[in-house]
A and B are shown apart, each in its own frame.
Chain A
């Protein structure tokens, strides 16, 4: 579904990604983990079109998409929830969801999808007319996910869904992500901590200093010492 090949991207003179290869297949939950400054957010920003790569190529559903703007890519089925969720705090919950569904023309189905997300996240129904800025962190994350679901994406990318949330709330968020994946949604998730990812991941990439230093299926990485070594940059025999 998504193929990133030898992608290079950065900010001015700083190269944040130095030739990254990542593949996401339909129905998978792929995690990209890595320490601060590894280039994880840059990766998602570049795939989503917020940044233009300076090298390599990105294919989504068989087509080259690098260099296209986010407003085009979201119409092709690519959704991103950036780090920090970025809900529209001054808009109501309802308006946030409306903006999410904006690119769709099938108004009858949008209505039924709206009901579906409000059933999935009952708190949003309760706060439907309220200003989104008053929601708690976990509720905001739910709103961000609900808003992106209403786009009906083929691939949903999330930058640190657990950031700043209490463990119990992270459970809820991961639970809803699992359910969404079971309905056929493909997920590409960036996390800084490796703690929670095993329960959900089909495949894992470890990113360090702008390069993929380890990749593998969940089964291959059940012994987490290799993962930790890659994450912290130890050579495996030293670990």
Chain B
């Protein structure tokens, strides 16, 4: 039972992370019909911003050497600015083209950012240690919970709550949801296109920055492809949740996260390497039953 609860906490922690990435992807998709694969590289760049650009395998700290509050601020701010720049340079000029063009552009941004990291940091994985104190397990009601898992779960849930409050309670949040559901209609009612798109990207940058820190604390390594798996998972989360639906993105994030951890914990030892295959099989099954996703929106159709 105790093992089950520990697995459950892990599952919720990972699910919350995927839910956050899925929300970032879902928000941007909603306002721009763009699946932004560069979201992966926002994570990666955020993680690399902790260290000074060198080719060394154990580099010295840049933002990672700052007091923690300042470190979080610097990383999140950099990634937010990065997200806004990519929107301005690579996506805004293409806004009136078809979604395929935008998708290609997001791949280009993604490879560009990866190459940039290779240029400054070299291509080999690096080890980096931040928040070492957090890796100690902590006792909650007699359960030993990994400090990192607890942190991840708390931060992700708090961010999720903050984001939901922002989207539900503020005027700009309501505009953003309106625009995510039906962009043309929102423009007809006076929602400024450039502004809501920029806000959606800023949120995806903020989420990217925070998530990158949580990942580094968890893994202690930097790798140019570190952002890709969580983003692919989050992308599947948005699809099974019902693309364009923000509650769907969160739901999908929890589904894939929880599936992934439970398969890891309960599959027979020799089958664990096939965990991802298991998760994706279930994703396929869900889509076979509900091709439009779990929560259906009108966002997929285009006509005004």
Contacts and interface: CB of A to CB of B under 8 A. Distances in A.
A and B co-occur in one complex: yes
Interface of A: 45, 48, 50, 69-71, 74-75, 79-80, 82-84, 86, 88-91, 95-96, 98-100, 102-103, 147-148, 151
Most buried by B among A69, A83, A84, A102: A102
A93 to B, nearest CB: 12
Nearest to A86: B185
7 smallest beta-carbon distances between A and B, as pairs: A103-B190, A86-B185, A74-B190, A70-B187, A82-B304, A99-B178, A70-B188
Contact of A88 (B177, B193, B245): B177
A147 B189 contact: yes
A91 B187 contact: no
B191 A90 contact: no
Interface in B211-236: none
Nearest to A89: B298
25 contacts: A45-B304, A50-B184, A50-B187, A69-B193, A70-B190, A71-B190, A74-B189, A74-B190, A79-B188, A82-B185, A84-B303, A86-B182, A88-B178, A88-B181, A89-B181, A89-B298, A90-B177, A91-B174, A95-B174, A96-B178, A98-B174, A102-B175, A147-B189, A148-B189, A151-B189
Contacts of B135: none
B192 interface: yes
B290 to A, nearest CB: 17
A91 B171 contact: no
Given A69-B193, A71-B192, 7 more contacts: A70-B187, A74-B190, A82-B304, A86-B184, A90-B245, A96-B178, A103-B190
B174 to A, nearest CB: 5
A79 B298 CA distance: 22
Contacts of B190: 70-71, 74-75, 102-103, 151
Nearest to A159: B304
A107 B57 CA distance: 59
Contacts of A89: 181, 297-298
B186 interface: yes
A71 B195 CA distance: 11
Interface in B263-304: 297-298, 303-304
A102 B185 contact: no
Nearest to A51: B304
Given A74-B190, A82-B304, A151-B190, A88 B184 contact: no
A102 B187 CA distance: 11
A84 B191 CA distance: 20
Contacts of B297: 89-90
A45 B182 CA distance: 15
Contacts of B246: 90
A80 B246 CA distance: 26
B193 A71 contact: yes
A88 B191 contact: no
Contacts of B175: 99, 102
Nearest to B184: A50
A83 B177 CA distance: 21
Contacts of A84: 303
A69 B194 CA distance: 11
Contacts of A96: 178
Contacts of A74: 188-190
A86 B174 CA distance: 16
Given A89-B298, A91-B178, A100 B189 contact: yes
A103 B171 CA distance: 11
A50 B189 CA distance: 12
Contacts of B193: 69, 71
B184 A99 contact: no
A49 to B, nearest CB: 8
Given A86-B182, A98-B171, A98-B174, A71 B187 contact: yes
A147 B175 CA distance: 14
